[in-house]
Chains A and B, each alone.
Chain A
Amino acid sequence: MFASKILSQSGGRIGLLAALVAAFAIAGCGETPAPKFVIGEGTTRLARPAQRAIEAELLKDFGEPNRLVVWQTLPVDFGAYEGVVAKPGERFSDPIEVKLTRKADSKIPMADEDLRGAGLLWTSGPNAEGTAKDAKGHEVHRDFEVEHYDPKRSELVVRVTPSDQSLAAPKAGDKFTVLGPMLQQGHKLYMTHCEHCHGVSGDGKGPTASYFDIKPRDYRQGKFKFTSTKSNDKASRADLVRTIRQGIPGTYMPSFLLFKDEEIGPIVEYIRWLAMRGEFEEKSDAEFANGQYSQEDIAQRVQQKESRDAIDKALADYIAKEYPGVAEDLAGRIGGSWTAAEKSEALVTPKIARTADTPESRERGRKLFHSDTAKCSQCHGPVGKGDGPQTEDYQAILGTNKKRKVPGLFDDWGNPIKPRDLTSGIYRGGRRPLDIYRRIYSGIKGTPMPPFGTALKDEEIWDIVNYAMSLPYESGSGTPDINQSKIASASPVGGG
């Protein structure tokens, strides 16, 4: 009535505006859609049944962003607590007083008080079964979860899905395990600080990513560029911690130095978990693609007079009988490679100390730089400006013999990439001699920078390190006169 009165009085426009403002004020902008893991490009190229099988497997093993699944096969510290009920409540949904202890095998620092959303498994008591009969007598699976935990009063509220008011309240002495609080915490922090570039699924396609010319890391190949590990090894936890703390100069990755240990621990676990999830999906894709179950292959097979029904049946058989085993196997292999990266054998440590940084050493380094063994100048250019002949050449597409239509170097994610301009003084993976040694020894994973650990002796690598580190300061070669900035004598500008 109020609105209609205004409408009649002021010719409609103001009234309409007022009505709209009122409507938005009441309704807001609608609810934020729940975050979702998106399936990769590789999966979308497969036949529909294969796609569905992979999606179902991912949902079972990893869940959705708002319902993460703890899959113990993976070498991730999900964070685990053992608990005993000290003082029960009257009904199931009442707060119970508990005694919690962190499991000994979960060591990564995390915030003890934040257990919200973590899974809960009853190991004794009336709910240890985990399944129940519903009204129609069907077996239903029950998911327990920590709805609320108050560390000051040691009070825990448990939620169950599907919700069931008739559930028996736990008794004093009932035991349970809290699973996955680390993953939950990592997820929350990731969604706040990392997701807008690296994406919900860790595919490097967050909303801000499209504005960058240097793309955020897509974790799904399980490859990270700047590591302390050997060329075939994954990144170690320490590598990821270092990248997050120090940032990557020369890219859009800023430093998150102020994160506390109990924040950075869960974030790194979550990133590793996302990388494993992505790798699991990509490797599954490859399995199906090898069986010639991509849409393209199937179309071709049908053209070559194979029976469509036979193909479908074979695919259904593969999904039903073999894929579950393949999936377990893949998870084991992926997990194994991440575990291996933590071992001391994976770590690259020079056998001898850095050669003294003398003009002679640099000269030897310079010769190696141009030599056929190291071929540095092929990409990094005659004076290290990053403009070698390879940057003008047409490179082969990864995994094929076909040449690209555009000249220049590309990384494994298909993004154009430039060899480092060694005169710039910017070192993305760190400026310690040790960092540069490791870049040469292991290469830069996922990029055309190859490993030289076997081709070059330690002495030779150190000579190249000495030469490369001298490049920014060489007189006459485009020195990094950072800019021609005016050095202000008295600042004319105020703060603000």
Chain B
Amino acid sequence: MLELKGIRKRYGEVDALAGIDLVVEPGEILALAGPSGAGKTTTLHVAAGILSADEGEIRVDDKDVGKIPPWKRDVALVQESYALYPHMTVFDNMAFPLRKPRSGMRVEEKEIRRRVTEVAEVLAMERLLDNRIQHLSGGQRQRVALGRALVRKPQLFLLDEPISHLDAKLRHWLRGELRRWLKAEGRPCIWTTPDGKEGLSVADRMAVIVEGAIVQSGTPRDVFSHPATVRVAEIISEPPIGILPGEVRLPGPELHLDGIPVPFPLSIERGKVEPGPILTGIRARSLSLVEDGSSATATKAEVVEREFTTRETVVSVGIGKGSVRILAPPFSEFRAKEQVTVEWGGAHVYLFHGGKERELLCEAQIAPAGTR
């Protein structure tokens, strides 16, 4: 088990890490997701011991490892920069940790060959083993760096954006291969990613880091379904979640949204909300476009733009000073400035605090059309 307790790291005036608490169980993959500059790499470097924290404690299997130098910690750290030996072959790079074991334990050459070949198969690199690093593409180098970590049986896996430079097809398969491998190894693993979606798909548990602090941690399903703050909701929602200012008024409660003349009756599903200003988060799936005049909970709005994906058309619609996104069938054409009618009835909404922290207050449903 890996535990980070109250880890702080300051660079001059800036709190790079403002008190990080994380627990990663054996065999668990924790995805650490957040925008660049949030502190993901710094957290990994502190956990690996190559960067010392100003405050806090790091425990591995209940032992304080803070005083143990990094080369004695038996950690497999995959750096975003790969840090490979350019003059060596792929095989020799991957075999390196076994030939120069920091633990001092010797590994037989036959065993080295067996392990490197096995890992190379997982990473689809069998044919590249004799190539030199300088002749490889970025994606291939990234796989060598991963391979070098996997050949060992370390105490900890720390993977810094391990698949960010691979093409789409390989990324899909490697997510699966890596997850299976790591589960079988049964060690704690932290996997960082700037991509919330990647975090959802690889994690047993996901922690979202923003400006040096963990804002939320939980299962992917939990984080996706109940984002703790506006920032978390933005990081994991695609298409982007619409955030509209509004106000909750009693009796009702009723939701008044800026730019919409009618109030909506709310039924609260989770949490609670006091009357007052709030921010409303609305995912693209919650709303639909309908025929004009078909419903009392529908309002008119103007198309800002449309985007196609292969699965749906994402229509951005202006509401007050903000906008929301709505899904329409694939390849339906919408023109900017075109008038459409948005159905709000039945929509699932997140209500966030209007203040600085913008934390989730409650989840609610706008009363379905026809029940007004």
A binds B: no
Q: Give A contacts to B, CB under 8 Å.
A: none
